Amino acid sequence: MRLPSRPLAPRSALPAEDPAPTSNPTDGSGRLTVSRLLPQGLGLAAAIVKRAASVELDWDVRQKSRFAATDSQGRALGIFLPRGTVVRGGDVLVAEDGSLIRVIAAPQAVLVITPCAEHGHAPIDRNFDLVRAAYHLGNRHVPIELKPDHLKIEPDHVLAEMLRAMHLTVTEAQDAFEPEGGAYGQAGHGGHGHGHHHDHDHPHGHEHEHAHGHPHGHAH
């Protein structure tokens, strides 16, 4: 006796095929992985950088190569950059999914160091006081942001008193902090980049001599 054949299952009842595997742009904890950095958005159009998400980071975080953060779109980020990388304001992070995140140097507590207007008889004397302050801070391996008319360091009451004793004005502020990078590391990435070459073979015939024989009787 021939048994009746079983009817074929409708197509909708057939088991679905396994979906094609996809790459996972997260680090396993739900954070979007970031492993690339474009210094100052190198190679990107300004309009593209402007539309990108952003992340505000203070100096304590930006000097690390691995850290977690949250961007302006609320995405959790896991940053894994090459060891020794320093992140600067204006840099652009590239996530594993191809999205861009513009870095903003977050305002933080700093000490702003300026020459005293009552000190010295000419502007060049006051500028020399900043050079002298930078020298002493550098001897103490203090991160310093260098500007033509002021210096910035992280808060330190001992250093503040030392600088005031050197007849400099020290004020507290909330501002972005971009200390100078090492001369032999992160070349061209100490807060600004220069793509051009400097030829230092030209002679320097001038000399700078500064005499500070005048008394310092004023107080700050």
Distance CA 33, CA 66 (A): 11
In a domain, 196, yes or no: no
Domain boundary among 53, 75, 105: 105
- Residues contacting 198, CB < 8 A, separation 6+: none
Whether residues 98 and 116 share a domain: the answer is no
Whether residues 41 and 89 share a domain: the answer is yes
CATH number, domain of 128, equals: 3.30.70.790
**pLDDT tens, 11-70?**
444 344 444 334 556 656 789 999 999 999 999 999 999 999 999 999 999 999 999 999
In a domain, 187, yes or no: no
Residue, of 135 and 192, whose pLDDT is higher: 135
Q: And the tokens for 171?
A: 């004020």
Beta strands 53-57; 100-105: pairing state: parallel
Residue, of 103 and 191, whose pLDDT is higher: 103
Whether residues 89 and 129 share a domain: the answer is no
- Nearest Cα residue to 100 out of 17, 23, 37, 20: 37
**pLDDT tens, 74-108?**
999 999 999 999 999 999 999 999 999 999 999 99
Whether residues 150 and 100 share a domain: the answer is no
Whether residues 96 and 116 share a domain: the answer is no
Whether residues 119 and 67 share a domain: the answer is no
For the chain, the domain total comes to: 2
Whether residues 119 and 154 share a domain: the answer is yes
Tell me the pLDDT band of 217, cut-offs 50, 70 and 90: very low
Domain span at residue 75 reads: 32-105
In a domain, 189, yes or no: no
Instruction: Give the pLDDT mean for 200-218.
Output: 44
Q: Where are the beta strands (DSSP E) in the chain?
A: 32-38, 53-57, 66-70, 76-80, 92-95, 100-105, 108-115, 145-146, 151-153, 168-175
Tell me the pLDDT band of 117, cut-offs 50, 70 and 90: confident
**pLDDT tens, 155-185?**
999 999 999 999 999 999 999 999 998 655 5
Q: What is the pLDDT of residue 210?
A: 42
Q: And the tokens for 200?
A: 């230092």
CB 185 within 8 A of CB 84: yes
CATH number, domain of 38, equals: 2.60.260.20
Domain boundary among 90, 105, 120: 105
